[in-house]
Amino acid sequence: MDDETIKKAIRAYETKQRKDKEKYERNRLDPEFRRRNCERAKQYYAENKEHCQALYRKRSEVTKAKSLYRYWESKGKDLTKIKEKHPDKYTILKQHGFKNLDTN
């Protein structure tokens, strides 16, 4: 692909995104649109209930670990002790990029 083709594809994508956003902004307060959107969301959840619950459980553990980290940080506690007291949450935090757990 040459530069002109790439630029044309990017412009087309940006135009489509802009038009979709404008269409959503026009319709988002329409009661019929809201009803259909709510039905679509309920149907998706009903069809993918196990998947949604698994995602919730996974995100729940990460959220709890982050909450613990923020609590310890706000209270001025030694963050290196999270590893000793909460090893499971420590591993979750390490997997999600919290690097300053070992040094304080």
The predicted-structure confidence for 8-45, as pLDDT tens digits, reads as follows 999 999 999 999 999 999 999 999 999 999 999 999 99
Q: Tell me the two tokens of residue 11.
A: 């412009």
pTM: 0.54
b vs e for 9-37, b when ≥16 Cβ sit within 10 Å of the residue's Cβ? eeeeeeeeeeeeeeeeeeeeeeeeeeeee
> Tell me, what's the pLDDT at 82?
84
Tokens 């995602």 — which residue? 55
pLDDT band at 103 (very low <50, low <70, confident <90, very high): low
> Tell me, what's the pLDDT at 6?
94
> Tell me, what's the pLDDT at 77?
85
Q: Read off the pLDDT of each residue in 37-54 and give the average, rounded to a whole number.
A: 95
Closest CA to 67 of 35, 98, 102: 98
Q: How far apart are CA 4 and CA 2, in angstroms?
A: 6
> Tell me, what's the pLDDT at 63?
92
Are 78 and 104 in contact by the 8 Å Cβ rule? The answer is yes
